[in-house]
Structure 1
Amino acid sequence: MQQTKGNLLGLLTILSWSCLALFTVYSGKIPPFELLTISFCVASLIGLIMLKKQKRVFKELFKIPLQAYFIGVIGLFGYHFFYFLAIKNAPAVEANLINYLWPLLIVIFSSFLPNERLKWFHILGTLLALSGAFLLVLKDGSLQFDMKYILGYSFALIAALLWSSYSVISKTLTHIPTFAVTGFCIVTAFFSAIAHLIFEQIYIPTFFEFFAAIMLGLGPVGGAFYLWDFALKNADIKLLGSLAYLAPLLSTLILVLVGISKMTITITIACILIVLGSLISSKQYLKLFKNLFFKS
């Protein structure tokens, strides 16, 4: 029952991440680290409200082990920091393709966890979904890895490694309560503000841009991290890794629906590959669903 709840919340997290591109586009000219600062401040507020609803006090965040803080901040801040550096130091298409290795890495790394077994349908499903993500990232552009962008490529790979490692390690931290993410978000907001002051100029956003930043904090770059933490600790992590490729797919489809992007044959093929890969990775759960609802 707990695993089913974790799987559902993991899927809800992935659905939330599908709004990332939309709200990022609407955030307009807000610099990346300033956008992160706003979003993680909202995420921190969500955590503080959650603490109050659970009748906990702020000082309980100081009781969370430093090791957990290190892992959490490296995951949340480290991932975004290196991802933005990758985008600044390499073409976006190639950087995004390397970054989208993280769901595959989650599936691979999870095989090293106790009582976790990697089966053929996990690997096949994830590779099919990765192929679909490749097409989405590529779109109608060209893919050409140039060694002069090796630093940017390295940053993208580091970002993928950090997020996948954070996700898999979180699976083992079942003794760390989900409200600890509040502390991770507070520290991440602080570091994001410092990075903003070092790398960017202060920008005063319009009302609409600020609203988009708030929505990012409520969803894909904030509230989703609390759901992801619970999902990682309770769900089938290999399934989550495979389903994660639904995020770029749904993100693209949302952009198509609002008129920012156009539907193409490439996107259609990518849809088929990602959905097929997700279904194959969910093989054992589809069987349970069939047995539950279609018993003879």
Structure 2
Amino acid sequence: MTAKKATSIGLIAIVLWSAIVGLIRSVSEGLGAIGGAAMIYSLASLVLLLTLGFPKVKTFPRAYLITGSLLFVCYELCLSLSLGFASTGTQAIEVGMVNYLWPGMTILLSVIVTRQRCSLLIIPGMLVSIAGICLVLAGDRAFSFSEIAASVASNPLSYGLAFSGAAIWAIYCVVTKKIANGSNGITLFFILTALTLWVKFLAAPQPEMVFTLRVGVNLLLGAMAMGFGYAAWNIGILHGHVTLLATASYFIPVISAMLAAVMLNASLSVSFWQGAAMVSLGSLLCWWSTRQR
């Protein structure tokens, strides 16, 4: 496979991942937050089994098998349930934006834990990302910390899960890079996530699942976006232009908001788009700080 073709496949993964916020929210509106997530991850696991196959678990380092699976499952639960428990489609998009703090967090944690070299550009990068999230949470109201606090207080569970997910994914990225030893347990991790969601679904009364054509289509699209997204990304990273893919990935927050706004028929304020752009810019600055001599 040529590098150009592999890079194109990697870019497709970015588009697929960008659609996940809107798709998860759409499915949860019909099947419930937990039931919808369980269905998506179950089908996504099937997609990964067909594309990547089941990994040779016996060859995994024990630390990666235990720590990696625990962190991955916790992150996916935070992501999917934060979107599912959002009060409205617009709030789900805001919650998804909070989750996109993870790129900057990952780089900051990498600098602290692994002593990765970086320039002082990382400081304004993090500040720009945080300021962008503040703009997103302020919405179309005047920017103030009281308005931001009011937005978070309106649904602390969703916002709390999204922020926790961002922190957990940052830890996952830094830790697994050191302990994976080249192993790829993504298929196993998806299966464990699906099983965990089904256990939670059966452990307590859940709202009735209402299947409609729209929910069914979004369910299939969500599963394919997750499954094929990871498979395509692996191809891009292994055989494509890594720097181009890394740069493009930092624009996922903006692309994701655009797709989710269309899928959820949500009207987003000018300040939201400014905030989304700042989140992407801040993450890009953090990444660039590690490339400076």
TM-score (norm 1): 0.70
Q: Which runs of 5 or more structure 2 residues have no equivalent in the other structure?
A: 142-146
Matched, 1:269 2:262: no
1:63–1:171 distance in 2 versus 1, CA, 3 Å? closer
Displacement after TM superposition at 1:5 (Å):
11
Equivalent residue number for residue 218 of structure 1: 224
Matched, 1:250 2:255: yes
Equivalent residue number for residue 41 of structure 2: 40
1:138–1:210 distance in 2 versus 1, CA, 3 Å? farther
Residues 1-296 of structure 1 correspond to what in structure 2 (within 5 A)? 13-27=13-27, 28-51=29-52, 58=54, 60-83=56-79, 84=81, 99-114=99-114, 116-140=116-140, 142-144=147-149, 155-178=161-184, 180-199=185-204, 200-201=206-207, 203-219=209-225, 221-226=226-231, 246-256=251-261, 260-262=265-267, 264-270=269-275, 272-274=277-279, 276-277=281-282, 280-281=285-286, 283=288
1:232–1:73 distance in 2 versus 1, CA, 3 Å? farther
Displacement after TM superposition at 1:214 (Å):
1.8
144-153 vs 209-218, which deviates more? Answer: 144-153
Displacement after TM superposition at 1:78 (Å):
0.8
Contact 1:43–1:185 under 8 Å retained in 2: yes
Return the letter of the residue paired with 1:45: L
Displacement after TM superposition at 1:156 (Å):
4.8
Q: Which runs of 5 or more structure 1 residues have no equivalent in the other structure?
A: 53-57, 288-296
CA distance in 2, matches of 1:85, 1:259: 16
CA distance in 1, matches of 2:126, 2:281: 10
Contact 1:23–1:213 under 8 Å retained in 2: yes
Return the letter of the residue paired with 1:127: L
1:281–1:189 distance in 2 versus 1, CA, 3 Å? same
1:48–1:268 distance in 2 versus 1, CA, 3 Å? closer
Displacement after TM superposition at 1:143 (Å):
1.9
**Deviation digits for residues 87-110 of structure 1 (CA, Å, limit 9, x no counterpart):** 759996896676444333212111
Return the letter of the residue paired with 1:42: L
201-210 vs 95-104, which deviates more? Answer: 95-104
1:198–1:222 distance in 2 versus 1, CA, 3 Å? farther
1:7–1:109 distance in 2 versus 1, CA, 3 Å? farther
Matched length: 276
Describe the SS at the equivalent of 1:143.
Answer: helix
Equivalent residue number for residue 144 of structure 2: none
**Deviation digits for residues 146-179 of structure 1 (CA, Å, limit 9, x no counterpart):** 889877766554333222111221222452433x
1:82–1:129 distance in 2 versus 1, CA, 3 Å? closer
**Deviation digits for residues 31-83 of structure 1 (CA, Å, limit 9, x no counterpart):** 1222222222222223222345xxxxx47234434432323332332123345
CA distance in 1, matches of 2:207, 2:174: 35
Displacement after TM superposition at 1:206 (Å):
1.8
1:74–1:21 distance in 2 versus 1, CA, 3 Å? same
Identity %: 20
Displacement after TM superposition at 1:194 (Å):
0.8
Equivalent residue number for residue 55 of structure 1: none
Displacement after TM superposition at 1:183 (Å):
1.1
Displacement after TM superposition at 1:260 (Å):
1.6
